[in-house]
Structure 1
Amino acid sequence: MLKINRQNCRTKTVRGRQGGFTLLEVLVAIAVFSMLSVSAYQVMNGVQRSDQISREHNDRLQEIQRAMVMMDNDFRQIIARKNRSQGEDPSDKLLLSSEYLLDSASMGIIFTRTGWQNPQQMFPRGENVRVGYRIVDDTLERVWFRYPDTVVGTDALVRPVLSEVTKLSFRFYSKKKWQETWNQGGALPEGIMVKMTLEDYGDIERVYMLPASALETNKKQGDS
C-alpha cells in the first residue's frame, strides 16, 4: 500500500511559497525602483545643468575680460593728433564723443591711438590708427580705420567686441572736474570714464587717465 507523508508535503508547500514574491511585493519593488530612478535622473540632470551654467558663466566672463583688455589697449594709448577725414582739411577735434556718433544706438566715441606695432610694415595699416566704439543691436563694436587720415570712400573696419550691452556712456576729466561732454578743439581730457550697462552684470565702469606723452603733445600744440 502507498503511504503519503503529509508532513513532508506541507513542508515543501510552505518552502515553495517562501521562495517567491507576491504581486504586492513586486509592485512595491517596482515603485521603489522607479522612485530611485527618478531621483537619480534629477540629480544627474541637476549636475549637468549646473555644469552647463558654470561653463556659460565662465565663457561670459572671458568675453568681458577680452573686451576690457582691448579697450584698455586703445584708451591708454590715445595721442593728440589732428586727422583728415574723407579727404577734408585736418580737424582740431582730437577726440569726438556724442550721442549716436558712428551710428551708435547709444553714445559713441572716436580718437587716435598709437603703439599698434607693425614691424617692417608687414600689415596694411599704420602704427597710429583711428579707433572708435559704438553700440549696435545691443553689441559693443570696435570701429577702426587702418590709417588716421582717410580719403573719400574709405570704409571703417568693424569688429564685435561684447554682446548684451544696452548702453554706453562717457565722462571726461579736465581741470579737476568731470564733465558729460567734450567739445574742446585742439585738446584732450586728462581722463576718460567709460561706463557700459550689461544685461546680465549691470553697470561696468572703467577710468583711464591719459598718458603723460599725450598731455605733453597737447600742451606743445597749444603753445605753438
Structure 2
Amino acid sequence: MCTVRKRTDRRGGFTLLEVLLAVAVMLIAFMMAFSTFSAVLTAQRKGREHLEALHHGDFVAERLVTALRSAAWFRDQSEAYGFHLDNRGGALPYDEISWVTTSDAFTGPDSPWSVGTHRLYVTVADDVAGEAGLAVKMCSPFADEDARRELEYESVSAVVRGLNCRIYDVETETWLEEWEDTNRIPALVELTVYAEGPEEDSEPVSYRRLVRIPVAGFDENKVHFDEDREEEKTEEAR
C-alpha cells in the first residue's frame, strides 16, 4: 500500500531583505521628492527677492526723478536755490547732489519739510551698521554752511549701492561730471542708481533716468534742445 504524503502549502510572505529593499526604495523616492520640492521653493524665494530688489531700485530711481522735477528756483535768490553736484568716484560712484524742491518724495508725513520748499541732499553713505545705502538730509534753502554740515544723513534705502549724476551741456553737447554754476539749475540731468544684485557676488543692477527739470526754463540762459538728439547722445555716452 502506497502512502501518499500531503504537501503543506507555505503561506506567502516577505523576507527581511525584501522589506529592507522596499524601505530603501521608498526613502530614496521621498528624498528625491523632497529635494525637488526644496529646489523649487529656493528658486521661488530667490526669484521673489530678485523681483523685490528690482522693484525697489526702480522705485528709488522714480522718487529721485519726482524730487528733481519738482525743483524750485527763483532768479532773485538764485544762490540759495542752485543745484550742487559733488562728483565722487570709486568702485561704485557715490555722488552727492543737492537742490531745493517742493516734493515730499523723501519726507515722512510728520516731517516739517513735507510742505513747502526744502533743500534736499542725496548721496550713498554708510548706515550705523556700516552698510552702504541711499541717504538723505534736508534743511531750509537759507540755512548757512555750518548748519548744513551739522546735519546727519538718514538712510532711506539699504538696497542702493551707488549713485551717479551727470549734467548735459547743450553748448558742447557733452555730459559733464562737474557742475560749477551753483546758482543755476541744469535743464537735463542723467541719474544712475546702482542697486544690489540678487546674489551676494552678483553685479549691481543699474537704473538710468533722464530728467528734464522744468524750472530750468526760467533761468536767464534759457535752454532749448531737441529731446530726440539727447536720447541718441545718451545712448552713445553709455
Amino acid at match of 2:220: K
Conservation of the 8 A alpha-carbon contact between 1:93 and 1:183:
no
What corresponds to 1:144 in structure 2? Answer: 138
What corresponds to 1:78 in structure 2? Answer: 71
Which of the residues 37, 41, 60 maps onto 2:30?
37
Larger Rg: 1
Task: Indicate how the Cα distance of structure 1 residues 81 and 139 shifts in structure 2: closer, same or farther if over 3 A, else same.
Answer: farther
Following TM superposition, by how much is the alpha carbon of 1:42 offset from its aligned partner in structure 2, in angstroms? Answer: 0.4
Secondary structure of 1:134's aligned partner: strand
Secondary structure of 2:141's aligned partner: coil
Secondary structure of 2:124's aligned partner: strand
CA distance in 1, matches of 2:60, 2:135: 10
1:203 paired to 2:206: yes
Task: Indicate how the Cα distance of structure 1 residues 21 and 44 shifts in structure 2: closer, same or farther if over 3 A, else same.
Answer: same
CA distance in 2, matches of 1:81, 1:5: 123
What corresponds to 2:220 in structure 1? Answer: 219
Following TM superposition, by how much is the alpha carbon of 1:48 offset from its aligned partner in structure 2, in angstroms? Answer: 1.9
Conservation of the 8 A alpha-carbon contact between 2:167 and 2:186:
yes
Taking structure 1 as the reference length, the TM-score comes to 0.73
Conservation of the 8 A alpha-carbon contact between 1:82 and 1:94:
no
CA distance in 2, matches of 1:203, 1:54: 18
Amino acid at match of 2:116: E
Secondary structure of 2:220's aligned partner: helix
CA distance in 1, matches of 2:75, 2:97: 15
Q: How many residues align?
A: 197
Amino acid at match of 1:215: A
Which of the residues 10, 14, 26 maps onto 2:8?
10
CA distance in 2, matches of 1:115, 1:148: 14
Amino acid at match of 1:217: F
What corresponds to 1:179 in structure 2? Answer: 176
Conservation of the 8 A alpha-carbon contact between 2:134 and 2:160:
yes
**Runs of at least 4 residues of structure 1 off by over 6 A?**
none
What corresponds to 1:162 in structure 2? Answer: 157
CA distance in 1, matches of 2:65, 2:4: 99
**Cα offsets for 1:182-207 (capped at 9, x unmatched):** 10143222101112333314332111
Structure 2 segments unaligned to the other structure (5+ residues): 127-131, 198-203, 223-238
Secondary structure of 1:10's aligned partner: coil
**CA RMSD across the alignment:** 3.3
Secondary structure of 2:73's aligned partner: coil
What corresponds to 2:187 in structure 1? Answer: 190
Aligned pairs for 1:58-73 within 5 A: 58-73=51-66
Structure number with higher helix proportion:
1
**Cα offsets for 1:17-39 (capped at 9, x unmatched):** x2x10122112101101111111
Task: Indicate how the Cα distance of structure 1 residues 185 and 50 shifts in structure 2: closer, same or farther if over 3 A, else same.
Answer: closer
Task: Indicate how the Cα distance of structure 1 residues 116 and 204 shifts in structure 2: closer, same or farther if over 3 A, else same.
Answer: closer
1:24 paired to 2:17: yes
CA distance in 1, matches of 2:194, 2:208: 9
Task: Name the % identity.
Answer: 19
More contact order relative to length (CA 8 Å, sep ≥ 6): 2
Taking structure 2 as the reference length, the TM-score comes to 0.69
